[in-house]
Amino acid sequence: MMNYRTLVINPGSTSTKIAIFEDTHLLAQQEINYLPADLAHFVDLMDQKDFRIKSIVDFMNKHDFDFQSIDAFVGRGGLMRAIPGGTYTIDTQMISDLTKGLFGIHAANLGAIIADYFGEMYQRPAFVVDPVVVDEFDPVAYLSGYKDWDRRSVFHALNQKAVARQALKQIGKSYENANLIVAHMGGGISVGAHKLGRVVDVNNGLDGDGTYSPNRTGSVSAISLVDYIYDQAPKKSEVVKLITHEGGLKSYLGTDDLKTIEKEIDQGDEYSRLIFDGMVYQIAKEIGKQATVLMGQVDLIVLTGGMARSGRLVKALTQRVDWIAPVTVIPGQMEMQALNLGAQRVLQQIEQPKNYVKEAEELANGRSI
């Protein structure tokens, strides 16, 4: 079996993560962090493309890698049309959707755009894997309570699916033949019900659904939000910022740094303890909700994301949910490895790459029935 080399590109709002893999072996990696001043003069996200490309070229030169040695370029999938999970060949329609921001603006949009740039330049395939818009919902999961406001599947799909596969491998089960619940706990929190290889339901932590997190509100009273908008008359962008960046722990405690909050708890701050316990309580409720989606047939619960490094949080959460199923902890995230593995499965002909337009249209047509 051939060993294929991939260049993995994962843009964040203030950083670009880069890694080179050969088969499953990591050869080099770097997280390039940008100062606010580095990005301040760019009018919009797409203007950052050349700047970030230069960062990647510098990385390749620093580590003495030739672009010609790369077999495939893999970018983090951004906000695009809803599609099922899998590895997708980057095409012109995907690039157009991401460039125009038709389905939202996020730094991850640049992942596919930059991977496509290098793929075109060096005549190599370019892929995205399990973007945040992965949609594998059961029909009933779309219903929200108002006919024009369908629930959206937007979550940490890449890491959720990767840790699910890893955790199940440890107990001798395959992802396609097991049921599990994965709680990704970072700046945002998503808790997904994985049923026989599909994420059939998950809260949309980006839009304000589910538990509060370090800096997101989660679900709040709709009437309270309406009152706030009418009383304060804020701009739309201000409301979005409140929901996605100013809520949760930050709203209650003035900081979204979990380590700082845990120190305050250790020093006897009972209010900090209450707010911390409230977040644990809400995460546990989300896990319980997804257990009902799986009708109690749960092989495993996986806790992942940056907050899974907190022993206090993991212990408190496990005490609330381990009656549902055994709990496995995979802290941090496997995004770079997952992007590589998705590309490797295609390069090694284990899977066929999916077509973005075809899969998006089939999903949309299926929902309209």
The model's pTM: 0.89
Give 222-271 pLDDT, tens digit per residue. 999 999 999 999 999 999 999 988 999 999 999 999 999 999 999 999 99
Where are the chain's structural domains? 5-136+335-368, 157-331
pLDDT given at position 1: 63
Integer angstrom CA distances of residue 38 from 9, 50, 130, 306? 19, 13, 29, 26
87-89 sheet: strands from edge to edge: 25-33, 15-22, 5-11, 72-76, 126-129, 87-89, 354-355
Torsion angle (degrees, nearest 10) of CA 103, 109, 112, 114: 140
Residue 83 CA to residue 133 CA, distance in Å, equals: 7
Whether residue 325 contacts residue 301, with contact meaning beta carbons closer than 8 Å, is answered with yes
- What pLDDT sits at residue 14? 83
- pLDDT value of position 37: 85
CB 187 within 8 A of CB 218: no
* Helical packing angle, 49-62 and 109-122, nearest 10°: 60
Q: How far is the C-alpha of 349 from the C-alpha of 363, rounded, in Å?
A: 24
Contact in structure between 103 and 81 (CB atoms under 8 Å): yes
- Name the 3-class secondary structure at 180: strand
Q: Which CATH class is domain 157-331?
A: alpha beta
What is the rounded CA–CA span in Å between residue 158 and residue 74?
13
Instruction: Give the per-residue pLDDT at 149.
Output: 92
pLDDT given for residue 235 in this prediction? 94
pLDDT at position 77: 87
Q: Which residues contact 214 (CB under 8 A, 6 or more apart)?
A: 186, 187, 248, 249, 250, 256, 257, 258, 307
Q: Name residue, tokens 């230069």.
A: 54
Q: Which of 180, 167, 235, 245 is nearest to 212 (CA)?
A: 245
Please tell me if the domain spanning 5-136+335-368 has the same topology as the one spanning 157-331. Answer: yes
Question: Which pLDDT does position 34 carry in this prediction?
Answer: 87
Pick the CATH number of 5-136+335-368 from 3.30.413.10, 2.60.40.1120, 3.30.70.2750, 3.30.420.40: 3.30.420.40
Low-confidence ranges of the chain (pLDDT < 70): 1, 368-369
pLDDT of residue 227: 96
The Cα 334–Cα 318 span in angstroms is: 22
